Amino acid sequence: MSQVEAAAPKFKLTLSRDVTDVAYRLLAVALICVTLSLVSDAFLTANNLLNVLRQASLVFFMASGLTLVILTGKIDLSIGATVGLSACVAATIIKSTGSPWLGAAAAIGIGGIVGLGNGLMVTKLRIPSFIATYGMLWVAQGATYYYMSGQSVYGFPPGFRALGSGYLLGIPIPIYLMIAFLVIGYFFTKRTTYGQQIYAIGANTVAARLSGIPVNSRLNLVFVLSGAMAGLASLIYLARLNSAEGDIGETLTLPTIAAVVIGGTSLFGGVGSLFGTFIGGLILTLILNGMNLLNLNANWQPLVTGLIVLLAVWLDMKTRSKTDSN
Amino acid sequence: MSERVLTQGMSALGRVPGVAFVLVALVAVFASMSPGFSTAPNLTNILVQSSILLLLALPMTLIIMTEGLDLSIGAVLTLSSVVLAAVAVSTGSLAVGFIAALAIGLAFGLLNGWLIAWLDIPPFVTTLGTLGIAQGLCLVITDGTSIVGLPSGLQFFYSGYFLGIPFPLVIAAMAYAVMHGILYHTRLGTYVPALGGNREALRHAGVNDRVVLAVIYGIGGLMAGIAALLLTSRISSAHPTAAIGMEFDAIAAVAVGGTQFERGEGWLLGTLLGVITIGVLRNGLNLLAMPSSIQVICVGLLVIVALFFDGMRKAHE
């Protein structure tokens, strides 16, 4: 009886979860924009909007790799520290050799190595990812402080700085990079076997393993990608700031995780998308930008980011338990 | 029941070599490399310095046994210290300041417990969020600067003596006794490993697992409030980043002490040894003039090694 019912076609308009999720979040973006343009004259200017997008692109680079990790049901708490280490090593290499390419290779390479370390701790040593990457956070941060020994490095070649602060046809260069990575990321996650395997591992690791997916090597892959993207983000960050100090990545982990969870990627794995993370980063950046425009002290930022993370996860859990019980 | 106690005791004994071996090895290395290490004042100093960490690591043991985590405890300790100082300076009363510190610590602990137990938010992201909130409140209250001008009586709590024993050690010993009593001699204590090992069974047995979780995280916050008294006394002021990151040492001590991040197995004495191990490591590296960045790396590597051996043991079983 119940089987017959289940087999009967449902004449009900059901949009895929991805679409409704994104629609809700775009609505949130629109609401925030309307509110901010009402309360501040400075918000709706081309300059400010491009600035918001540029900030959002930085968050996106860090959060995109993390999104892949979270899609598998794992976590990477070492992102901020990885950005810091990559940025500092790249900065000294660019300064001493004058070659941005060597610096870029070093930053992405170091990020990848840190990510591989995380991956091996999770897959080989079977350490839970939240504790393995948390340990890595402190090791990487300690290494950064030791490497810099209190010094700061500043003043990079203009060609390199264009990566963070340059314009092409009136639009900041990081925005182009972000769009490129959004497109690549879309095809990687939705249109390749690798991407589908990442979702499958997060949805049900045991089933994924039984169906022949090489779970451990895919997990290593997402951790390496997460580290490498942090390395890439560190370059754009460095080019934008035009200086590097030991504490450069310290405050970046919480906003990065915030962007992913605001974007609707479930911390339990299997659900979410890179486009969602882009919107999540945009929402977070808009809120912080609004605080800035309203002259709210920067001291409030960690507090607000913490509240937003909790609110976003809570909303996500609430909608999830509703769809689960349906 | 007695059989269970016996097997638990055996598995506890089986864990002794790990952390004890590391501790003995570290003491031997530092004693041979640095003449100032194995002096009575320095060894006392290690214990006194470890007392604040012990106050955080004891509840962290219980929290990790429930398969939880508290990343906010360092920031909550800092906030409690800031509140203690701000209230004590404005009212002139240390007692009122201390009560305020306890209250704010307990409030954050219960907030963590509520978010984790009732809203089902994973512990690491819950406490990462409350870490941000506590850190933000520290910055907002102090505007990024230190709070000074505290009553002079404050210094007793860190550098005073009670019956010839340094006062922080008295507090640490009391805290250990209380936590030992809670974990091993109360009904609440028997629920702790069950929360990590088999929460479903606990719920079916009619235990309100949510209340138990909230109480455990609440104890963590309360201990951070007590630790705030020692911390503020130690530096005679409050600083918005004073104990940021101390949760890492606390988690490290618990991990090195042999408590499992899965399966709900934990051991309070192991945590005590873990705290002393971290204290010896930091003190020894300090005497060898190693910067704090190297110390952090060493603590991190120690944790990874400890978890590696744990993993091997698990694979062996």
Q: What is the pLDDT of residues B211-266, one digit of tens each?
A: 999 999 999 999 999 999 999 988 888 888 888 888 999 999 998 888 887 776 77
Q: Report B:217-276 residues touching A (Cβ under 8 A).
A: 245, 248, 251-252, 255, 261-262
Q: Which amino acid is at A248?
A: I
> For A247-300, how does the pLDDT look when each residue is reduced to its tens digit (9 = 90+)?
887 788 889 999 999 988 888 888 888 998 999 999 999 998 888 888 787 888
Least confident segment among A18-27, A226-235, B110-119: A18-27
Which residues, 6+ apart, have CB-to-CB distance to A293 below 8 Å? A36, A39, A40, A42, A43, A48
**B-chain residue closest to A136, CA distance:** B300
What are the helix (H) ranges across chain B? 2-33, 40-65, 73-91, 94-117, 123-142, 156-159, 167-185, 187-197, 199-204, 209-235, 246-256, 268-287, 292-316
As given in the structure block, the two tokens for residue A216 are 């451990």
Of B189, B196, B202, B184, nearest to B68 (Cα)? Answer: B196
- A112, A116, A119, A125 alpha-carbon torsion, rounded to 10°: -160
Domains of chain A: 45-291+300-311 (1.10.3470)
> For B133-189, how does the pLDDT look when each residue is reduced to its tens digit (9 = 90+)?
999 999 989 888 888 878 887 787 777 778 878 888 888 999 999 999 988 888 888
3-class SS of residue A209? helix
B32, B154 in Cβ contact below 8 A? Answer: no
Interface predicted TM-score (ipTM) of this complex, two decimals: 0.84
**B-chain residue closest to A246, CA distance:** B293
Residue B166 is inside which H or E element, if any? strand B165-166
What residue spans define the domains of chain B?
52-245
As given in the structure block, the two tokens for residue B285 are 């590296």
Task: Compute the count of residue pairs across chains A and B with CB atoms less than 8 Å apart.
Answer: 141
* pLDDT score for B6: 57
Contact B300 A136 (CB under 8 A): yes
CB-CB neighbours of A277 under 10 Å: 31
Of A24, A80, A32, A38, nearest to A289 (Cα)? Answer: A32
As given in the structure block, the two tokens for residue B64 are 């990790």
| Higher pLDDT pick, A27 / B10 | A27
A94, A217 in Cβ contact below 8 A? Answer: no
| Higher pLDDT pick, A116 / A51 | A116
C-alpha B81/C-alpha B261 separation (Å) is: 29
Chain A contact for B285, CB < 8 A?
no
This prediction has a pTM of: 0.87
C-alpha A124/C-alpha A94 separation (Å) is: 35
Nearest to B136 among A125, A134, A302 (CB): A302
As given in the structure block, the two tokens for residue B112 are 């963590």
Chain B contact for A143, CB < 8 A?
yes
Q: Which residues of B touch A306 (CB under 8 A)?
A: 128-133, 135-136
C-alpha A171/C-alpha A165 separation (Å) is: 10
C-alpha A273/C-alpha A198 separation (Å) is: 11
Q: Taking chain A, what is the end-to-end CA distance rounded to the nearest angstrom?
A: 19
As given in the structure block, the two tokens for residue B155 are 């210094």
CA distance A173 to chain B (A): 31
pLDDT of A44 > 70? The answer is yes
